[in-house]
A and B are shown apart, each in its own frame.
Chain A
Amino acid sequence: MEGTDSVVHAKGVVRVYGEGDTAVRALHGVDVEIESGQLTAVMGPSGSGKSTLMHILAGLDRPTSGSVTIDGIEITTLGDDALTKLRRQHIGFIFQFFNLLPMLSARDNILLPLTIAGEKADPEFFDTLVERVGLADRLAHRPAELSGGQQQRVAIARALVSRPTVVFADEPTGNLDSRTSGEILDLMRSSVETYGQTTVMVTHDAKAAAMADRVLYLADGEIVKETGRSSQHEILQIIDTLDLQ
């Protein structure tokens, strides 16, 4: 798929939760392309459908209608086994609540995707990755012995270790204080720069979105605007004009 620069295509994605009177239309026909090697931020107020969109792009959830491809593979119709294979090869996740396994050390947590896939880590890559996320002296610790910021660093390393086609992050700083948030955002930015890691980050924080190469604005289940790299100030202004508070 060299040549085309986008790795994730979504077309006409609709997601309706529930049925009948209680049905909620979370997404109304969203079209998105995620460019390779870029950090794309998805902005929008709470309840606008950011998480829903991300889950569908990442193959965690199926759209009610529409199509999604990752690396040219249509994922909305894949069976469980194929989806599992897709996740191993193409997808990394960073969660708001870290989702580390409490009984494993930081090292084992980071290596988990490779362990699951039955692969061996490239020791050089692993060492530089650990160095980069600043966990070199914390590898033997369990998550409970780490601070929130450190836990999210473990999660980032875990998402990067298998060098997936695209990393999805849902509010990665949503559970951290502002100083730690800054560090984590820098880390994500640098992974895009160093490794050319394609990343999709859901956030409602303008400061986070200002780190992105591209910002998509979501309101009531529709993409209402798209900008390139913008400052925090510009983003806040757009939100204001679009009335996205």
Chain B
Amino acid sequence: MIRFALQGLLARKLRTALTAIGIVLGVSLISGTYVLTDSISSAFDSIFSQNYKNTDAAITGKSAFDLSDDGTQQAPPFQADLLQKVRDLPEVGAAGGAVNGEAQLIGKDGKAIVFGGAPNLGFSVDPSLPQFNSLTLVKGGWPGAGEVVIDTKTAAEKGFQAGDTIGVQARGAVRPMRVSGLVSFGAVSSIGGATLAGFDLGTAQRLFDKTGKLDQILISAKKGVDRPQLLAAVQKVLPPATQVRSAEDQAAEDAAGTSEFLSFLQTFLLVFGGIALFVGSFVIANSLSITIAQRTREFATLRTLGAARKQILGTVVLEALVTGIVSAVAGLFLGLAIATGLFKLFDAIGFTLPNNGLVFRTRTVVVALIVGVVVTVLASLRPAMRATRVPPIAAVREGAALPPGRFHKYRSAGAVAVAVVGIGTILAGLFVDGLATRTLLILLGLGVLLLFVGIAAFSARLVRPMAAVSDPVARWSVVVLTAIAWPFILLPLWLIRRLFGRPAEFPGVLPDGPAVTLGGQNSRRDPRRTASTAAALMIGLALVTLVATLGAGIIKPFEDAVDKISSSDYALTAQNNFSPLPPTVAAAAAKIPSVTELTSVRAGQARAFDKTISVTAIDETAPKLLRFDWRSGSQASLSELAANGAIVDSGYADEHSLVLGSTFQLQTVTGKLLQLTVRGIFKPPAGGSPFGNVTISTGTFDSTTTQPQNIYSFLNIEGGVTPANTATLNAALASFPNAKAVTIEQFKDNQTDGIKSLLNVLYVLLALSVLVSLFGIVNTLVLTVFERTRELGMLRAIGLTRGQVKRMIRQESVMTALIGAVIGIVLGLVLASLLAARLDEISFTVPVGQLVAFAVVSVVVGIVAAIWPARRAAKLDPLEALQYE
């Protein structure tokens, strides 16, 4: 029986391959995800361990509380004299001190060098202690006073060589520096697109405003001293606000942020692999159902020869198992290509991920194989059960109908029930309070899954009514698209064919009445088949619609929020739109005489009520440029902040029962305790608030923070937005290449860039699922052509031309695609409206333009899917086809 199953598969190679494409693509995304994240993680590991390769212990400054890893704030530096004390310890072999900070390199064009959103790392290097130096000198020499070494990638891409002069900007204005040499970071060519700038210690301390201070001391133990002894000895000389960790702990601490990010990225991408597989499982189940219907006689014959039901089940499942294994292996290796593609995709949106070569782990192989095989076998179960119901008499009786299954009666009701349970699960996830994020996501995922399965099972009932509408829509949208493509594709193709002397019908545009009508009828013939073919596309489109609608729902309120908060003419931001800027930037703009008002928002972190929160600080000009939606207090509150006033957002106030006049304690990064009095409570705008939970005065903020930074500055200028004013502002910022002045409209666009790039990534990932469903349609059509060979022969015999056969099949294809698209889009909108109803940050906004685009894409999917099956059908010889059995 095993041989029989395998030979059956081989005999149906083409059909099997078509069936398997969904699984191959799904598995490839899963394996690609693992390869990608493993590669990134191994690259990061090598970066972090490289940092501490000869180090036994590291001393760092300690903030009063754990800072979050977004890098907006650094632990405060400590006094440099600690280095000598450490060196004097008998347990210490060698110790080196270092400082670091953001150092922006300036290109020859005077613009800041940034690769996407990657950081600009600046640090001191000490060539006299090579054991602590993780850089490799590739060219030139180590930096002396006032010199810099830069990484080879930046040098190559921006045309710098050793000996050139490059602009460097840290806390102050740009300084020209000689490039003494080029370096690389161990074996890693690029650390996520970050630029590297290394200075000698004195230069670095001056650049980063850390004269007489250090950020880090790296220590190696004397021979014979073990780690615990070393740590204990160092511990004794540590001043307050510093800490010592073993090298491994320090590396792990450094890596904590990235490993969290990686596990998020992994889960995120795996979800899309799962979606593609889910869609693929529909394609498999559908193709198998069709194939099994076509093999009724074969199964019946086997039954007459003594095959038990179990054996029939076994054959079908075994075929699925083999298909699953082969596709999973193919997908596994395609995953390597996908990983490379994902690296490129992230690179393209300015999010370069470090890559040291692809890492292919055993876990990837195991998971990909298991998932691929399990999904295929699960998808085959229902069709396999159907196959067991084939009665032996079907071997001799034409068109013997399968006896309906035991649950046939309950099919529609069951489908509705599944969909309702799905919706219920989604609602529970969204509206039950106090669920953990994980539970919530699982409930949402499960609910959406059930909803899809339910709708897919029910949609057979929708096919006939929907076909009535999609028939003319398909007809005319094909006409429009054909008319558009006619001069560019159809006519040239026809000319080429004629040129090579091949007969070809002159391409027409208008719909072909009889052929298209036949196609329309065909799509209604087997509603279940049409519905399950359309279901695959439905899922893809529902998700794309969901993403588009949520995207629109996030961007719109954000823009509204900016409109509400500020009516200024211009904003000052970093080149990358989000990095904080030193206050000197705003100060330079404020010096322009025509600037009437300018206010800056400082941002940082602090601790209150035992939690680390974001704090912002505003200055005296704020009331003129920033508007708050006050619950208690008023614009006047902004000027009453003084040394110990604070305004808080309403959510935070509710959480901690704060009212006007309440006092609470806030601990700043430097450990200072502030007793703050609530002067105002505001409602943050729905689209995201630029303000932290607590906002204090800039004066208080600056006196309790090392190196305060602005996240935004807003300003008004005489004459408002004009090209001349823009030029004036940018001229004033010339010495800060990392800063730019943008109009408030540009500011809104720039701030939503991130979301837009994210949306694009989501579209690319979902496109894979749509691709799988396209293959699903191809599959169904090819199988249908097989099945209707005799009928097609008959139609050709009574005068249908090849072109008409093609158009007939195309009509069926486009109608199927449209049915899937319409159900999918509606479903996507429903899901989006549920999410929008729950999340304050999102307003339900229908992105009409995009939805129309999706519908057009679906029609194109239908047209493309029909090309090959239609050619096969048109190639059939009428005579042979009539004899086909």
Contact = CB atoms under 8 A, between A and B. Distances in A.
Interface of A: 51, 55, 60-61, 80-81, 84-85, 87-88, 91, 93, 95-97, 99, 101-104, 108, 112-113, 115-117, 158, 162, 170
Given A101-B8, A116-B1, 11 more contacts: A60-B391, A61-B393, A80-B309, A87-B305, A87-B392, A95-B395, A96-B396, A101-B298, A104-B7, A115-B3, A115-B4
Nearest to B297: A99
Nearest to A87: B306
B396 A60 contact: yes
B267 interface: no
Contact of A51 (B4, B302, B303, B396): B396
Given A55-B393, A101-B298, A112 B11 contact: no
A158 B306 CA distance: 12
B304 A108 contact: no
Contacts of B1: 115-116
Nearest to A96: B396
A116 B392 contact: no
21 contacts: A60-B304, A60-B396, A80-B308, A80-B309, A84-B308, A87-B303, A87-B305, A88-B306, A91-B304, A95-B301, A97-B885, A99-B304, A101-B8, A101-B302, A103-B7, A103-B8, A103-B12, A108-B4, A116-B302, A116-B311, A162-B306
Nearest to A84: B308
Contacts of B238: none
B731 interface: no
B305 A93 contact: yes
Contact of A103 (B11, B303, B309): B11
A146 to B, nearest CB: 14
A116 B306 contact: yes
B395 A113 contact: no
A95 B752 CA distance: 71
Interface residues of B, number: 26
Contacts of B4: 101, 104, 108, 112, 115
B3 A108 contact: yes
B302 to A, nearest CB: 7
Nearest to A83: B392
Contacts of A101: 4, 8, 298, 301-302
B441 interface: no
Given A102-B11, A104-B7, A116-B1, A60 B306 contact: no
A170 B396 contact: yes
Given A101-B4, A102-B11, A116 B396 contact: no
Interface in B5-37: 7-8, 10-12
Contacts of B468: none
B297 A103 contact: no
A85 B311 CA distance: 13
Interface string B274-309: 000000000000000000000001100111111111
A117 B306 CA distance: 7
Nearest to A81: B308
B456 to A, nearest CB: 31
Contacts of A108: 3-4, 7
Interface in B396-411: 396
A71 to B, nearest CB: 15
Contact of B307 (A93, A97, A103, A116): A116
B294 to A, nearest CB: 12
Nearest to B5: A103
> What is the predominant secondary structure among interface residues of chain B facing chain A?
helix
Contacts of A85: 306
Contacts of B308: 80-81, 84
A60 B390 CA distance: 12
Interface of B: 1, 3-4, 7-8, 10-12, 297-298, 301-309, 311, 391-393, 395-396, 885
A88 B304 CA distance: 9
B395 A99 contact: yes
A61 B12 CA distance: 31
Contacts of B12: 103
B174 to A, nearest CB: 76
Contacts of A95: 301, 395-396
Nearest to A117: B306
B817 to A, nearest CB: 33
A87 B306 CA distance: 5
Given A51-B396, A55-B393, A61-B393, A113 B305 contact: yes
Give 6 nearest A-B pairs by CB, closest first.
Answer: A103-B11, A88-B306, A99-B301, A87-B306, A60-B393, A103-B7
Given A60-B396, A104-B4, A93 B304 contact: yes
Nearest to A61: B393
Contacts of B307: 84, 116
Nearest to B304: A93
Contacts of B302: 101, 112, 116
Contacts of A96: 396
Nearest to B12: A103
A105 B10 CA distance: 13
A84 B306 contact: yes
A42 B15 CA distance: 42
B775 to A, nearest CB: 24
B305 A158 contact: yes
Contacts of B11: 102-103
Nearest to A162: B306
Nearest to B393: A60
B7 A116 contact: no
A60 B8 CA distance: 25
Nearest to A104: B7
A108 B4 CA distance: 9
A117 B303 CA distance: 11
Contacts of B304: 60, 87, 91, 93, 99
Contacts of B8: 101, 103
A158 B301 CA distance: 12
B301 to A, nearest CB: 4
Nearest to B306: A88
A18 to B, nearest CB: 13
Contacts of A103: 7-8, 10-12
A65 B298 CA distance: 29
Contacts of B305: 87, 93, 112-113, 116, 158
Given A116-B307, A117-B306, A60 B392 contact: yes
A81 B307 CA distance: 10
A97 B311 CA distance: 24
A93 B300 CA distance: 12
Contacts of A93: 304-305, 395
A147 B151 CA distance: 76
Contacts of B391: 60
A170 B397 CA distance: 12
B398 to A, nearest CB: 10
Contacts of A116: 1, 302, 305-307, 311
Contacts of A97: 885
A158 B303 CA distance: 14
- Which of B4, B11, B306, B391 neighbours the largest number of chain A CB atoms within 10 Å of its CB? B306
A103 B10 CA distance: 8
B537 to A, nearest CB: 32
- Which of A81, A99, A102, A117 neighbours the largest number of chain B CB atoms within 10 Å of its CB? A99
Contacts of A81: 308
Contacts of B395: 60, 93, 95, 99
Contacts of B303: 84, 87
A59 B678 CA distance: 90
A107 B297 CA distance: 20
B853 to A, nearest CB: 45
A116 B309 CA distance: 11
Contacts of B306: 84-85, 87-88, 113, 116-117, 162
A71 B305 CA distance: 18
Contacts of A158: 305
A85 B307 CA distance: 9
Contacts of A99: 297, 301, 304, 395
Contacts of B392: 60, 87
